[in-house]
Chain A
Amino acid sequence: MDEDAHAKPGPAEQVSRLYEDLEAQGAKASEELVGSSGFAAVLARAAENAAALTKLSGDAMDIVLRNLRLAGRRDVVSLSRQLARTEDKLERVLQEVEELRDELGRARTRPAPAADKKPARAARSSSARRTKDSS
């Protein structure tokens, strides 16, 4: 009797196994479903509908804010874009400056002709651009 009791799973375990089997079958069936071309078509339409709704509501909200003479999302984005363009230009200028500084540093460390030999100056540290992450 005792051996039988140990071998047989309890009701809770049986329910658990039953549920896991059901879940595994559900997973397989759902993966087959999402892999079908019909589902892909539905997904594409759903994505378009979501995009259209978002665009409509965003445009409507922008019109309201504009008529209230308040800065809306569009204005903030426009300003951010201008800032980003300025940062792009600044980055390129910085890179040019760094390259020139490196070249200058290399030229200074090269042994100069004996007649006009001057003491070499240390290259400026680039650590000025580095900041600490406080996170």
Chain B
Amino acid sequence: MNTLQSFARLPRATFEFANVILTTPDAAIGQAPRDVVWTHRKTTLYRYRSADRTHPIPVLLVFALINRPEIFDLRPGNSFVEYLLEEGFDVFLLDWGVPDEEDADMGLAEFVCDELDWAVRETLRAAAEEELTLLGWCIGGTLSAMYCALHPSGAVRNAVLLTTPIDPRGSLYDRWVGDEEFDVDYIAESFPAIPGAGIDFANKLMKPVTNHLTTYRRLFQGILEGKDPRESYQAMAKWVADNPPFPSRAYREWITWMYKENRLVTGRLRLRGERVDLARIEQNLLVVTAGADHIAPRAGTLPLLDLVASEDVTHLDRPGGHIGLMAGSKAKHEIWPELADWMSERSDH
């Protein structure tokens, strides 16, 4: 495209760009048909409808507390849930909901020992099975690892942990909140529910230019070159902007236990009096790390591999970012088939 052509396209591209940005909140995400299986407080367990279940062992998807789980089902044609259904899995999704001030008493123990434990129970009841595959992503992976450590011979047959923080020493988050300088107690006392916008602000601050400038420049450039990035951009942008509040007790415990005291990897974390010992994890384990992950860097996940007692351990290290690895345009042809293959080998009676 020569300079004149570029200038000629500029007004149209500008209007198109503005339209894409302004209509992003209207983008439809999380479209796969599903049924509510169980609810408790803000938590909801969904089961996705499928007429072609070939693997009896159900898959329970667990996402982080700081974003919504729709990332598992971003948009038709680029949905991990859709892909798993096509592969014959019975898919359940645990949605933590949107906590508010009344949920300030929800700590990590409530999420792991109540909500997750009860969701596992309800999944098994709904699927009429005795075992399941637990797939956790980000903080959801850490909560799943804690659950597996507390129930080594429980209902979880396979555990899949995606870009999961286990030992956050040396990470940027650790530098920000790990020191005494960051008074997590004061923050947690001031906010009964830590605003999602604040956490999103901090997340974006990790790569300020990339998040606040490069993303928009690339979108504009794409439109100027005649591409149609509307669907993919809007789905991801809408998901990124949807940040539920973090219950203050869980936030305080997460920052203190994980970043300030690094309890999980050193075996000093206790939930309701019971030690969360990662060495007790015996489930078939698949750990996925992303080479360019700046939120849960690979180095912070790898110690898990040396700790667990599982005999069947697989580690996949792939290029990509914390979210891009699983939700990027290449995921459908790269990481999803690998996950599905691993699970299908371990999901039959």
Contact = CB atoms under 8 A, between A and B. Distances in A.
Interface of A: 10-12, 16, 19, 23, 26-27, 30-31, 34-35, 37, 40-41, 43-44, 47-48, 50-52, 54-55, 73, 77, 80-81, 83-84, 87-88, 91, 95, 98, 126, 129-133
12 contacts: A30-B207, A30-B209, A31-B209, A34-B172, A44-B181, A44-B182, A54-B190, A84-B103, A91-B118, A130-B37, A131-B35, A133-B46
Interface string B163-197: 00000000010011101011100110011100000
B345 interface: no
B190 A40 contact: no
Interface of B: 2-3, 6-7, 34-38, 40-41, 46, 100-103, 105, 114, 118, 121, 125-126, 172, 175-177, 179, 181-183, 186-187, 190-192, 198, 202, 205-210, 213-214, 217, 221
A73 B121 contact: no
B149 to A, nearest CB: 23
Q: Per DSSP, are chain B's interface residues mostly helix, strand or loop, or mixed?
A: helix
B118 A11 contact: no
Nearest to A51: B190
A31 B46 CA distance: 39
A42 B141 CA distance: 31
B192 A77 contact: yes
Contacts of A27: 207-210, 214
A80 B102 contact: yes
B181 A41 contact: yes
A126 B126 CA distance: 9
B173 to A, nearest CB: 10
Contacts of B114: 88
